[in-house]
Amino acid sequence: MERVLLTGAAGAIGSVLRTGLRGLGVPLRLLDVRPVTPGPGDEAVTGDVRRLEDARRAMAGCAMAVHLAAIPREADFERILDANIRGTYNIFEAARLEGCRRVVFASTNHVTGFYAVGDPVTPESPPRPDTYYGASKAFGEALGRLYHDRHGIEVACLRIGTFAAAPRTARELSTWLSHRDAVQLVRRCLEAPDVGYLVLYGTSANTRRWWHSPGWASIGYQPEDDAETYADRVEGDAADHRFQGGEFADAPRPS
């Protein structure tokens, strides 16, 4: 497979992916603001996606990119603007300028976090972000649509659920994405012949999952794990949250 750029390679998801994808023989270029130790055949680049020149330097010669680098939680708007909005623009623009043909964009379930628990949600449902963070990822999805339609870049947007080694709360019985399934999901997005423009929810095969993604079949994603295995070990109750975004979305209840 052609070389793949992985941004945010030192982060929680990036650390799992760079190991999991390496085992599949995918040559990686690892970008992070922190130094990353590359594995055999990999390259490491220290840089900041908030600077277009760094994004271009990392993107040069890569046929595909997995864009993870971002603030992965709620923060003040200026920080979100710089890292998640400007940084995502820089990655898509670097892909255009450097001839990268496919970008896998790490979006989030918080794009639709203000749907009530129990509401059926698919990638076709209108965005209802629960935070500046969720809104920044909705922007990234829209930007990906623009770069696909105007510049022909293939874009897969992954609305990642709760990425963890195991679910820890009742909510996560619906939202969990296991490490193994995360590697498979990204791998399928990289290996599919043509993804066009695609939005997918990133979860494991959870019996209680809220979100449904018809696009899983189009890339051959078949998750292997189910959070139900951990149902007798989690904390709390599903009724702890009114909205699917959980603590990101829950406003104080009237007294």
- Could you list the active site residues? 133
Q: Nearest-CA neighbor of 6 among 35, 28, 22? A: 28
The DSSP result for 120-162, as a single string, is: -B-TTSPP--SSHHHHHHHHHHHHHHHHHHHH--EEEEEEE-E
Buried b (16+ CB within 10 A) or exposed e, 108-136: bbbbbbbbebeeebebeeebbbbbbbbbb
Decide the pairing of beta strands 28-32 and 43-46. parallel
